[in-house]
A and B are shown apart, each in its own frame.
Chain A
Amino acid sequence: MNVWELIIQQPVINVLIVMTHYLGDSFGLAIIALTIIVNLAMLVLTLNQLRSTKAMQEMQPRLQELQKKYAKDRQRLAQEQMRLYKESGIKPAGCAITMIIQMPVWIALYQSIMLSLAVAPEGLLNLAKYLYSWPIVYSILPLNREFIGLNLAEPNFIMAILVGATMWLQQKMSMTVTSTDPKQAQQTQLMLWMMPMMFTILALSFPSGLSLFWAASSIVRIVLQYRVTGWGGLKRKAPAEAESDKKYLKFEPSPEKRSTDDVGADIVITDSEPGRSYPALPSKQRYQPGKDRNMRRRKK
């Protein structure tokens, strides 16, 4: 066994088997339970990632303003965006780093589930080398593959659809970019659909035990996402709609500095929820709302 198998795969496989034993010989329940446990173990990382996502979402109006303002000056736009990220303490690469850290854990879970399922006879034979010398582990194998009418070793159409739907939902909730840049918007749409579609196709071919793991993971992420960001990208309107419906997104000077002369006033961004406000930014980041609004009116 190599280091990966010894340190990661072997423990996970044995834990899965023991959990199956204590969950009434139900491998399906063990998959769900382990998915939840692993998510809880990575809760700090996940929450950091979700909070970053939320902060990105909250920053969208300001980013959109920047995009409009500097539509013809991409260099300046990038400069302003970077400044905004920096001063808000958001690291766009942070989400990717968190994902990279979590990835080996998910791959280990995926491999362990596949090995434990021992779909083909060779799989069962290979599984023997991963087993700890615990009597429970040996006697319970091969695992019971039946779970709520599903054969976990066979692909299942409903599970494949569930995988795609939950993954899409989770992706949609976590979407941060509602860009006015058509290229970027296109890329975002591609990201939204690509993963769910690919995993649906995979789920149509792979054992439904794996689909159960993918669906359970997505559902756990949806719950966490909802707790942190609400419905996120699901609730947010497309840029064109937002533009024509300004009662949900308006920019006002802060109450204590309403003078139009004070162009450097702090900005409070409000949406439909009364009393909800976003934190004020340092003066060097301030917008010029009067100027900006007038420009838009003139365009209309």
Chain B
Amino acid sequence: MNEEIRKKSKGRRWAGRIILLATAIIVVVLAGSGCVRGLAPVGWSGGTATEGKLYVGSNEGRLVAVNLADESRQWSEALKPASGSGGFFGCSSAAATGGGLGCGTGSAGVAVYGTPVVAGDLVYMAGYNGKIYAYNKDTLAIRWVYPREGNMEPLVGGGIVYEGRYYIGDSDGRVHALDAATGDSLWQFTTGDKIWATPAAKDGTVYIGSFDNKLYALDAADGTVKWEFTAEGALITTPLVANGAIYFGSFDRNLYAVNTADGGLKWKFMADNWFWAQPVLHNGTIYAGSLDNKVYALKADTGALVTEFDLGSPVSSTPVVVEDKVIFASRKGVISAINTVNNQIGQLADLEAEVNGPLAAVEGILYVHTHDLTLHRINTANGAILRSISLKSQQ
């Protein structure tokens, strides 16, 4: 009996210690579980190919130039995080780096979401640290930075170069027009909420969606509003401008088609979840991937549903057209090709890696940038997976 009591007494003391330990473990687990669930920005930049090179923003916060012929790589200097970002665990929205305990999914640098753009001898890239960089296309040396001092709010959407100007929207809801050669600010326009969408431009007009539910048509020269269209949800997709219409998705689950002339609604089509990625147009048909796991083929002029394809997991990456095929990637890494002639779908490959960024294709090779700092290559003709290229810097 006494022995039993002594054991129980000792056990109670140990119980106290165990509670303390459990408290510490719970706190650490809470921290960890929060981080891996999308607290830390990682990035999903796509690639832009030109003159035998593919430019992509890596999860390390570098611009990487991949020579497509010999697979050699060139890295820019790593982007610097915005001061005071991240906190101890690097888990706040301002966390541009995996600072502190570096939680996240392996990103060790400033996240890059927008796909780099190439114009003339410069490559432009925007970072989550709220800065825009223009690099020399050959050396990847920085030509200019905007803003020159301090940081804007995080940049999630990419930029475009149109008629000598660079356009981008920031998380403070401002659209910036910069001189593409010098990085000097030309004009700014403020929307009612964050901008995470990449703009599109055609015929002297810049089109951009905002979290304030509006699509803005701005005069490319001075930023004055030509017209605006109000949806029932936030806009995050890059608009597709073609055939006198603008096609874009909204968080109200609709894909909209509005007239470029006056912003009048042509048609809308509702899915079961958001249209996150930019749609593509091919042979009079819009192909739009949705987070409801499906790709919808719609008549571009009426919005009538032609057919739909189930990819098994959400589609968040912008597809690419290769000859008569529209190639999609699901978030789980399954690459599928839709034959636009007979509207049949076939699986090209399964990368077994998360894919969120836009796809790129050059000379029959599909390039897919995944979260694990890898550039996957797939032969679009037969689906053969070629040797992947690591984007991890060796510096």
Task: Give the complex CA separation of A194 and B24 in angstroms.
Answer: 9
Do A138 and B251 form a contact, CB below 8 Å, given A122-B42, A133-B272? Answer: yes
If A119-B39, A205-B100, A206-B92 touch, does A195 touch B6 (CB 8 Å cutoff)? no
- The answer to whether A111 has its CB under 8 Å from any CB of chain B is yes
> Is A223 close to B, CB under 8 A?
no
Q: Would A125 and B316 be within 8 Å (CB), given that A154-B92, A206-B87 are in contact?
A: yes
Alpha-carbon distance A17/B198, docked complex (angstroms) = 27
Q: Which residues of B contact A141 (CB under 8 A)?
A: 233-234, 251
Expressed in whole angstroms, the Cα–Cα distance for A55 and B302 within the complex equals: 73
User: Interface size of A by Cβ–Cβ distance < 8 Å?
Assistant: 53
A75–B9 Cα gap in the complex (Å)?
A: 8
User: For the complex, what is the distance from the CA of A201 to the CA of B44, rounded to whole Å?
Assistant: 30
Complexed CA–CA distance, A79 and B40 (Å): 53
Min CB–CB distance A79 → chain B (angstroms): 5
Is A199 a contact of B92 with CB atoms below 8 Å? Answer: no
Known: A74-B9, A75-B2, A96-B19. A120 touches B42 (CB 8 A): yes
Is B185 interfacial (CB-CB < 8 Å)? no
Residues of A within 8 A of B27 (CB): 198-199, 202
Question: B23, A126: Cβ atoms under 8 Å?
Answer: no
A290 on the B face (CB < 8 A): no
**B113 contacts the other chain (Cβ, under 8 Å)?**
yes
Q: Does B189 contact A (CB under 8 A)?
A: no
Question: Closest CB of chain A to B150's CB: distance in Å?
Answer: 17
Contacts A75-B5, A129-B314 known; A201 to B88 CB distance under 8 Å? yes
A77 vs B314: C-alpha distance in the bound complex, in angstroms?
63
Which residues of chain B are within 8 angstroms of A199 by Cβ–Cβ distance?
Answer: 27
- Which segment of B28-36, B61-69, B176-184, B199-207 sits at the interface? B28-36
Q: Are B233 and A139 in contact (CB under 8 A)?
A: yes
Cβ of A165 to closest chain B Cβ, rounded Å: 18
Could you tell me the dominant secondary structure of chain B's interface residues?
loop
Chain B hits for A210, CB < 8 A: 34
Q: Could you tell me how many residues of chain B have their Cβ less than 8 Å away from some Cβ of chain A?
A: 58
Q: Which residue of B lies closest to A127 (CB)?
A: B38
Is B218 close to A, CB under 8 A?
A: no
Does A212 sit within 8 A of B, measured CB to CB?
Answer: no
Q: How far is the CB of A59 from the nearest CB of chain B, in Å? A: 15
| Contacts known (A138-B233, A138-B253, A139-B252); A207 close to B91, Cβ less than 8 A | yes
Instruction: Tell whether, in the assembled complex, residue A114 and residue B34 are in contact, meaning their CB atoms are under 8 Å apart.
Output: yes
**Interface SS, A side:** helix
Bound CA–CA A198/B20 (angstroms): 12
Q: In the complex the two chains form, what is the Cα distance from A45 to B89 in whole Å?
A: 33
Chain B neighbourhood of A79, CB < 8 A: 2, 5
Given the complex of chains A and B, what is the CA–CA distance between A77 and B276 in angstroms? Answer: 67
With an 8 A cutoff between CB atoms, is B370 at the interface?
no
Once the chains are docked, how many angstroms separate the CA of A293 from the CA of B44? Answer: 76
Counting CB contacts under 8 A, is B90 at the interface?
yes
For residue A158, CB closer than 8 A to chain B, the reply is no
Q: Is B8 touching A82 in the complex (CB atoms < 8 A)?
A: yes
Q: Closest chain A residue to B272 by CB distance?
A: A133
Which residue in A115, A142, A204 is a CB contact (below 8 Å) of B211?
A: A142
Check B94–A154 contact: CB distance below 8 A: yes
CA distance A230 to B93 in the complex (A): 40
Instruction: Say yes or no for A107: interface residue by CB 8 A criterion.
Output: yes
Instruction: Tell me the complex Cα distance, A96–B38, Å.
Output: 32
Question: How many Å from the CB of A226 to the closest CB on chain B?
Answer: 24
Name the one of B19, B91, B291 contacting A128, with C-beta atoms under 8 angstroms. B291
Closest to B252 in A: A139
State A80–B90 Cα separation when bound (angstroms): 51
Residues of A within 8 A of B16 (CB): 184, 187, 191
Question: Which residues of chain A are within 8 angstroms of B334 by Cβ–Cβ distance?
Answer: none
Does A125 contact B31, Cβ atoms closer than 8 Å? no
Which residues of B26-74 are within 8 A (CB) of A?
26-27, 30-31, 33-34, 37-42, 44
| Residues in chain A near residue B222, CB distance under 8 A | none
A144-190 residues with Cβ-Cβ distance < 8 A to B are: 151, 153-155, 183-184, 187, 190
Residues of A within 8 A of B89 (CB): 202, 205-206
Contacts A128-B291, A187-B16, A202-B31 supplied; 20 other A-B pairs, CB < 8 Å:
A75-B6, A111-B33, A115-B37, A119-B39, A120-B42, A122-B40, A124-B38, A125-B316, A139-B252, A142-B251, A153-B92, A153-B93, A191-B20, A195-B23, A198-B24, A198-B27, A202-B89, A204-B88, A205-B90, A207-B93
Q: Residues of A with Cβ closer than 8 Å to B?
A: 74-75, 77-79, 82, 92, 96, 103, 107, 110-111, 114-115, 118-129, 131, 133, 135, 138-139, 141-142, 151, 153-155, 183-184, 187, 190-191, 194-195, 198-199, 201-202, 204-207, 210
8 CB contacts below 8 A, A to B, read A74-B6, A75-B5, A119-B91, A139-B232, A141-B233, A142-B251, A202-B89, A207-B39
